[in-house]
Structure formats: structure tokens, C-alpha cells
Amino acid sequence: MDQILHLHEFFVEGNNPEESHVLLNITEPSTPEEQEKGYFFVICEINNGDTKYIASMQSIVDEIENSYYEIPDQVGQSSLEVILNKINQENINMIQPDISLHCIIGAIRKNDIIFSFYGHPQMLLFYKAKDGSFKKMDLVEENKTNEQTEHAQLFSQLVQGKIGQNDLFFAGTPTITSYFNHDRLQKIITTRTPKQSSEHLQKVLSELQNNISFGGIIINLQTATEPIAAIKTSPVKKGGSAKSLKSLFSTERNTADILSPSFLPKFQERINETFNTPYETAEPEINPNGLRANTEITSSHLRARQDKIRTVAKRNYQETILLVAKFIWKCLKFILQVIFSVLIFIGSIFSALGRNIALLFFAATNYQNRRHNIILQWKNGWQHFKDNIARLPLITKFLLSASLILIIVFSNGIIYIKNKQKKEEKARIYSETKLNINNKYDQAESSLVYANTDAALTIIAEAKTMLATLSCETPSEKTNCQTLKTKLENLEMKARKITLATPQLLADWSATTATNPAQDIFFLGNKIYGFSAQTSDILLYDLLTKETQLITPGLSVKNFISASVPKENDFAVLLYDNQNIVEFKPTENSWKKVDIGYPGQNTKITGLAVYNRRLYTLDAQNNKIYRHDTIQSGFSIGKEWTQNNTTNLNTGTDITIDGDVFVLGENGTIFKFTKGQIQNFVTSKIDPPLTAAHKIWTYNDLKYIYILDSTGKRIIIMDKLGQIKNQITAKEFTSPTGMIIDEEKNIAYILDSNKLYQVGL
């Protein structure tokens, strides 16, 4: 049975070769003699090496490659062993304490593999156990205790053995484990085809964009009858993994000047403990000329023995041209014959069709009284047809009937096959799309690990677009689609730093006042007060007694817009009619209008805040912020606090103070002022974008700034440098309009549709 060798590379070049450089070569044999030597590969990582050292190492690699194909094997000693022995003796100076070198050199010969290594490259073997799960083995780690004296020679050990069916061999540079540990590599390599695994590793590592270079290969051997994509689900022959593992490490040989003591006895004992089934090593089937029937290689570093290829190509050039010319001439003759036959057939059809159309016209119009004759001609023709059928021999009738039945069956068969092909194509597209979505999910998850939020959100959007095209018709498909949708939504919420909270309903004020619902709230003395622009009545909820009341202040005012409470928590001021103030003192249970003035006549106050017993008001009409001192009758005429203000505050909806003044624009923009001067305040990317906002909250003893987004139904939490910390939403939110923050207790009070909620931050 033919076998397919899968050999796929991944390679990422860093920005600074002298800091990190990777040599990756894969050589493809071109002649039967070279095919016996197989595919030669090299992976080397050089850290802190200058260009001279890198060039020297490349020369050594080229020398090993050329010598490997030119020097024949000797009795009891492979050509690679002879070459490495020579390299060890001639290149001791390549081992330098200030240069980190990690190298793997080897060859794949049919289903045999032979390799040697220096340093600590990554060499992992993933093999299937009896239960069908994959196990891993770190070949470098298994050999540590048996290594010869450190830095004694470049390649002190040679290992050779068989590549077993369904086994996966991974070789790569050591820095890969800084980003993919062995368990993560096992998950990636054993759940994808080798090609998909290498593409995934290259994509993720290339997105790092640092000075580090990466390189590696993934090797797998399968029978040609098995689908390439069936690695993770194909059945395993009983004992097959044990045989391949035993044969892979049972042929190591030691020599006096190149090989160190084998690490295999310890591993052999482990294999014997795991797999106790006796086995026989089976050689792979090859075609008569000794060359491998099928090989799948993905490598931008694949090199062929071009000099010999040109010789063979030149020898067969004329024969190839002659064969191609003969084939083209036969194809042209066949095409002309087919075209001529089709034209005759089409002409016959059109001729018969035209004749019958003319007869039908004459019969319908009775042209020249020919209707009777035409109908009689049709009757005679039909009777003649029936007589001819009746006179046919029985065997002819049988064959004719059988032919009609076969035509019907054949037509139905074609229809069935086409429908089956459509279903299979639909199933294939479904499977590929599902696999691509899962790959996108893994990529987005990897991007989040490296804090690349923008890339993760872009990949998630691509995956959701794929999901929208996915066929979700059968119950199984619907379940899979819903599972994928939930996974992507959860990952998207994680990338956006969105937390889904479960709020606690404290009070439903709809039962108290349904006609004039509360639109905003303020906190004073363990009580939460709600107010609206339609009435002067005030709603109250007592956090201690859990009771709700309706308060009538006895003031002939309406249009309450905003409220503020000082840090001392001893009174509240409420803004009404865009410029007037009402003061409420809970100790006296008194509501009264107080004095306040402004520098200009046409003012429109949209927000206010009390800080250090002074009142600050936001005049959106005149693009100003005023500061009012406290006086006996209320507050003094405001003094313009902003200086040289070029910022447009006419969309400002709310104001808050922590020593600096923050103004919230209706479109979600935040303006920061220090001592009246506008400051550069840039927030990090908010996703979904903030397009409308209504409330902003902070104070000098609070760590964060809190923004209430009524349209997005969320609370946005950011630090005072503008970096997003969290976003909180809830399924119960419909259109929140009021917010109170108690950062010490880590809770928020939210007013939404005349309902008062408590939410954990």
C-alpha cells in the first residue's frame, strides 16, 4: 500500500538577524540514487551571532548536505555519521560561550528518520496510545541525563528509527516554547492536518513582530488511501503506535568519537510498560523503481539538486515535445468530429421543429383548406407508428421496453447522484466553514493572550461573518451553529471587557407614579431620591427600611434637570428651568428656592456639581463653566472658571469634579480641565463605540471615572488616564438614565424605566 509523507515547515524571520537568526533548509532528491538518501533537513537557531558566524554556520550546513548525497553509506556506519564525525573534528571553534546555538540535522529515508542535534532544540513525538488519545515525548528532555560533557563537540549523538503511521514528529527552534508550551503544541498538531498546523503556527508567530526568528517542521506518514484531513479521527491499528515508537528508537548506534551513550533504554522500558503487545516491524510498500509514490511538502525553503534535474530534463526534452504534439493533434481531430456531429443533430432538430410548426399553423388557420388533410396525415402517422410497434418481434418489444426503463432509471440515477453531490458539497462547505471558524476562534484567543485586542476583535468579526453564511438546517447543524455563536459572543465580550451582571431590583416606582416616571436620581443620607422634568414630586427609597415614599416639596416648580450632593452629604441642589436652583436639607426636611446668578443673560445650564462647598455650573449655551461661592441666600453670581477655552461645550450633558473638571459630551466625548485650562484627555478604544452618553461620575477619593451609556445599556469604567477597565451591562437594562456610584461598597444604583436596581461593580 502506497504511503504519503507529509513534511510541512513554518518560518518567521525576526527584525534583527544578529540577535536571533534561523537557518532552515529542506533538500529534495531528484535522481533514484539520491532518492535512496531521502529528504535532508536542517533547523538551526543562532542567538547573538554576528554575520561572520552565521555565514560560517551556513557553510557547514551546505558542506554536510553536499557530502551526505555524495558519500555512500559504509558497513555498520551511515554516511551522515561519517560526515558529522568529520564536522565535529574540524569545527570545534564554532562552540562559543557568548553565542547560543541550537541545531537539528537529519534525513528522512522512505519511512526511516535519522537525526542529530546540538544545544536544546525542540524535538517532540506525538503518538497514539491504546485508548486513541495522543501522548507526547520530549526527545531532548529524555536524553539530558546521558549527554556527554557540555560543549565537547557539535553533534555528539545520532538517532535513527522508523516513522510510524499516525505518529507526528515536531522539530523546531527553542524560542517557540516561550509562546507555545508543549501541551498547546500537542493540541494544535494533533487536531489539525500537518499543513494546517504549520500555517497556524506561522500566522500566530508572525503577528508578534519582534526581533526573534522562528522555524520548524512537522512530519507525518499516512497511507495513501486515508484522507489527509482525517488525522485526528482515523482508526488506529491495535498496537500500531507501540510498534512505531519501539522501532523509532530501537536502532541507535554509538561510535567511539561521535555517539554519546543512548537515552533509549529508559524510554524503551517506558514503551514496554505501556504497550505489551508483540509486534513485527513492517516495511512500507514502495513502487518498483524504489522511489516514494507520494510526498506532500509545504516549504518555501525546499531546494532540489538542480544540476541533475537539468540533465534528466534535457535528455527527455525531445520525447516530451513529440508526445505533446501527438496528443494535441488527436484532441483537435476528436473535437472537430464532435462539433460536426452536434451541428448535424441540431440541424435535424430545427428542421423537424420548423416543419411541425408550419403544419400546426396551417391546421389552426385552415390555410388553403388544408386542415383536414393535415389532421388526417397526423392520424395516419400515429396509426402507422402503432402498427409498426405491433409488428415488432416480441424480443424487440422487450428490448425497447427495457431500454426505456433503463433510460428512466439512468436519468433518475443521474438526478440522484447530482443531488447526492450537492449534499456532499454542502456538507464539505459546512465542515470547512466550521473548521475555519474554530481556527479564527483559536487565533482570536491567541491574540488576547498577547493583549492584541484590536486584532482579536477583527478576527472575531470575520468569524461571525463566516457563521452568517453557515447552513444551519438540520437539528445537529442548528446545535453546532448555536454553540459557535455562543463561543464567539463570549470571546467578543471578553475582548471588549464586557461583564454581564445580574442586577437586584430594589424598587419599582411605577406603582407609585406611573404618569410621571423618574428620570434621574441622587443619594443623600442612606436614601435615594428620584426626580423628573414633568413634576415637582420626589420619589424616595430608604436603603435601611426598604420602603418607598412619594414626597411633595410644596414648590411650584417643574423641569428638574440635574442634581448634585457635596461630599459632606448634608444637602442637595436641584437644577430646574435651565438656570434656577432648589436646595433640599434632609435634617430640616426643607425644600426651598435659593439665589443664584450668572454673568450673562442668555444662559442654558445643563449640568452642575458641588465641590469644596462651591457650585460649578455648565453653560452649554455660552460654552462656559462658572464657579459660584456659597452665600447666606444661596450662591453668588458665577465667575467664569474656564480660561481661553476653544473647546465646543454646547453638547455637554453632565459635569463631575475630582480636583480636575470632567465634562461629558452628548456624543460620548470627555473634556478635562485643570485650573480652567483644557487638557489633552484621550480614552482608549471603546467597543462597541460610545455614540451617546448621559451621566458621568467621579470624585477625588475615587479611583475610576464612570459613564452611563443609555443607548448601549451599559456602565463604562475607565481609569483617570482614559484606559478602559470594564464595561457592565445586564439583560434587565432597557434604557438606564440615572446612576449613583458607591465605590467603597463596589456597587452602583441604576434608574431604568422607573425601576431602581443595585448592580455589583
Give the distance, in angstroms, between the CA of residue 592 and the centroid of all CA atoms in the same chain: 61
What is the rounded average pLDDT of the residues 483-512?
91
- pLDDT for 152 equals 64
Residues sharing a CB contact under 8 Å with residue 613, sequence separation 6 or more, in sequence order: 566, 568, 630
- pLDDT of residue 171 exceeding 90: yes
pLDDT, greater one: 158 or 672: 672
- pLDDT of residue 564 exceeding 90: yes
- Tell which residue, 16, 22, 180, has the closest CA to residue 100: 22
- pLDDT of residue 420 exceeding 50: yes
- pLDDT for 127 equals 84
- pLDDT for 328 equals 92
What is the rounded average pLDDT of the residues 435-447?
91
In 69-184 the beta strands, taken as DSSP E runs, fall at 100-109, 112-118, 122-128, 134-138, 158-162, 168-172
**709-713 long-range contacts, Cβ below 8 Å, gap at least 24?**
709/668, 710/735, 710/736, 710/737, 712/688
Percent of the chain whose predicted confidence (pLDDT) is above 90: 38
Percent of the chain whose predicted confidence (pLDDT) is above 70: 87
Residues sharing a CB contact under 8 Å with residue 209, sequence separation 6 or more, in sequence order: 15
- pLDDT of residue 257 exceeding 50: no
Name the CATH superfamily, with its identifier, for domain 3-312. Answer: PPM-type phosphatase domain (3.60.40.10)
Q: What are the extents of the domains in the chain?
A: 3-312, 318-391, 418-495, 504-517+595-760
| 122, 173 Cβ separation under 8 angstroms | yes
| 64, 87 Cβ separation under 8 angstroms | yes
- pLDDT of residue 281 exceeding 60: no
Q: Which pLDDT tens digit goes with each residue over 25-42?
A: 898 888 888 888 888 999
| 5, 292 Cβ separation under 8 angstroms | yes
Confidence of residue 300 (pLDDT cuts 50, 70, 90): confident
Which of 353-357, 543-547, 575-579, 672-676 shows the lowest per-residue confidence on average (mean pLDDT)? 353-357
In whole angstroms, give the CA distance from residue 438 to residue 251. Answer: 40
Instruction: Please spell the DSSP secondary structure of 437-453, one letter per residue.
Output: HHHHHHHHHHHHHTT-H
How is domain 504-517+595-760 classified at the architecture level of CATH? 6 Propeller (2.120)
Q: Which pLDDT tens digit goes with each residue over 530-561?
A: 999 888 889 999 999 999 999 888 888 878 99
pTM, to two decimals: 0.48
Q: Position 135: which residue type?
A: K
What is the rounded average pLDDT of the residues 513-531?
90
- pLDDT for 231 equals 33
